[in-house]
Structures are given as C-alpha cells and as structure tokens.
Amino acid sequence: MTALSAPPASTPAPARPRRTGLGVLVGVLLVLLAGVSLFVGVSDVSPASVLGDGPAAFLLVASRIPRTVALVLAGASLGIAGLIMQMLVRNRFVEPSTTGVTEFATLGMLATIVLAPGMPVAGKTAVAALSGLLGTWVFLRVVRAVPVRSLVLVPLVGIVLGGVVGAVTTFVAYRLDLLQSLAQWSQGSFAGVVQGRYEFVWLAGVMVVVAWLAADRFSVIGLGEEFATNLGLHHRRVVAIGMVVVAVITASVLVTAGLVPFLGLVVPNVVSLVIGDNVRRSIPWVAVLGAVFVVACDVLARVLRFPYEIPLSVVVGIIGAALFLWLLLRRRSRAH
C-alpha cells in the first residue's frame, strides 16, 4: 500500500493545538479574578474580616459569593451559547443577541409581567426560555428561507429580526408604563444578585454540561447537514438540542442579570483562532475565557467610578465591540 506523493519531509508539523501552558494561565487568571471579585465593593470585605461572625462574613455569603458565582456561570454559558449558535448556523458572527433570540426572550419576560404578574421566577424563566426557543426557531427558518450566503448578511438578518421584536416589546412596555422594568433587563448588571435571587443561573451551568456531552455532535453539525447525515447523525435532533441549550442559557442569564452583549461572539471567535473548531477541545476554553471576560468586566464596572457602579453591559459593550471590530477586520481575508 504505497501512499501516493507523500508530503515533502521538510514541512514541519506544528505542535498539536492543545496549549496546556496557556490553559493553566487562563485558569489561574480566572481564580485570581474571582478572588478579587469577592473582595471588591463598597462595603469593606477583606480576607481577614470574614473570619468570624461579623457583617463582613454575612456580606460575603449573601452577596459577594452569589455575585461571583453568577458572573462565572453567566460568562461561561454565554460563551457556550454563542459557540453552539455558530455551529448550528455555520456562521461565525451569530450569537443570541445578533439573532433575535435575546429579544424574543425579553418579550416573553414582558408577557409574564403583563399577563401573570404574580408568577414565580421559575415560571418567568420558563416562559422566557420558551420564547427564546421560538426566537431561535424563527431565526433558523428565516435564514433557511432567505438564501444568504454572505457571512455578514446572516447576523444582519438576525439583528433586523431582533430589532422588529425589540420594537414590539418597547411599544407594549411603553403603552403599559413598563419601560423601567424593561430597562432592567436590557442593561445587564450583577449588582442585584444576592442569595436567593440568582439561583436560576445554575440552569445555564447545567446547559454547559449538556453542550459538553454533545460536543462531538455539534462539531459534526458545524460541517453541514450533508456531512452530518453521511456520518449517520440525526441533523434535526442535534439542532433541536442546540436550540434548547441556547434558549435556556439566554433566558436564565436574562432573568438573573439582563443582557450581556458581544460575549458570545468574541470569546468563541478568539478560541477558534487559537484552538480551532473541534467543539470538544474548544468548550473548556470558551467557558473559562467567557467567565474571565465577564468577571474582569464586572470588577472594572465596580471600581471605575468607585463607590458607584457602571452597568456591566456598558463595560462589556465597549470592550466587546472593540474586540469584535478587531476580529472582523483581521478575519476579513478569510471571511469572504
């Protein structure tokens, strides 16, 4: 069995894209940032002061730990939601907030406030997740129906769709005098995260595990329907799992903290450049980098105008948009 025209031996094989050293570094960074997040805030909470039964210990348990946990889970899961959407749509520039999914979920939240004001948070999350799911479905249908091949047009379609749904939401909220509640979600902030009011973000964490379990399937789906079918994969079923993962993550972060833009776009793209598109390999990177990104932005939001807080979405938006522009420009040659 002779190999036909074997590659010349002079071509050096680069190291397998695993990057263990870099991985350890990013992990340590996350632990450090999480530590900082525990001890940064208006009230003095220092490692020394929490020993004992004082108010500092209470504050740590009731507010700082929940906030840090929520940040880590939200960051990790939003990154994963972006990654999964990019695999489903086979487009690098989609994530829940560029495909109308977030806007649909927000509309669902508003509906619960209008129609069932007394609904517990669990119910609200469920309704938001269901309408987010509807949003994913509508987006996928629209993208299928409009044969857009251009990489930039697909998210544009999503943004238009989101704009329409967002306008409906704003209109309804305006007529019913609910604009203030609406502003709460459209401005992501973890300032209101306290014990007993953030636990739904764990659902997003569960979805990260689901995504990790189905990682290989998402990699194969990312190669296209024909490719997946040839390998005996049930394309529709995997897409359905992906849609649920995306919708639940979007909804549970939305009820906990509100909108955190760009994250799902920037983090998976950076990881793709370094690690590649094998989802099994990239998922831990996306999760950890997503968490690092959000925790870092939140710490910044807390210290920039100390003792006041800037909304997290503002910090994420500025840094994320800059990173996104950089990605868009540096990828241009390969993107088209």
Where on the chain is the footprint of another protein (CB under 8 A)?
A: 1, 3-7, 9, 11, 13-17, 215-217, 219-220, 222-227, 229-234, 272-273, 276-278, 280, 334
Nearer to another protein, 161 or 215 (CB): 215
CB of 271 to another protein, least distance (A): 10
If DSSP states are collapsed to H, E and C, what string results for the chain?
A: CCCCCCCCCCCCCCCCCCCHHHHHHHHHHHHHHHHHHHHCCCCCCCCCCCCCCCHHHHHHHHHHHHHHHHHHHHHHHHHHHHHHHHHHHCCCCCCHHHCCHHHHHHHHHHHHHHHCCCCCHHHHHHHHHHHHHHHHHHHHHHHHHCCCCCCCHHHHHHHHHHHHHHHHHHHHHHHCCCHHHHHHHHCCCCCCCCCCCCCCHHHHHHHHHHHHHCHHHHHHHCCCHHHHHHCCCCHHHHHHHHHHHHHHHHHHHHHHCCCCCCHHHHHHHHHHHHCCCCHHHHHHHHHHHHHHHHHHHHHHHHHCECCECCCHHHHHHHHHHHHHHHHHHHHHHHHC
What is the smallest separation between the CB atom of 149 and another protein, expressed in angstroms?
A: 11
Pick the closer one to another protein by CB: 283 or 297: 283
Closest distance between another protein and the C-beta of residue 1, in Å?
Answer: 6
Which of 7, 147 has the CB closer to another protein?
7
Which of 222, 273, 268 has the alpha carbon at shortest distance from 80?
268
Residue 62 CB, nearest distance to another protein (Å)?
42
Nearer Cβ to another protein (44/225)? 225
Q: Which is nearer to another protein, 21 or 52 (CB)?
A: 21
* Shortest spacing between CB 118 and another protein, in angstroms: 45
Q: Given the complex with another protein, which of 147 and 307 has the nearer CB atom? A: 147
**Minimum CB distance to another protein, residue 322 (Å):** 23
Closer residue to another protein, CB minimum distance, 239 or 295: 239
The closest of 268, 261, 270, 274 to 321, measured between CA atoms, is 261
**Closest approach of another protein to the CB of residue 93, in Å:** 15
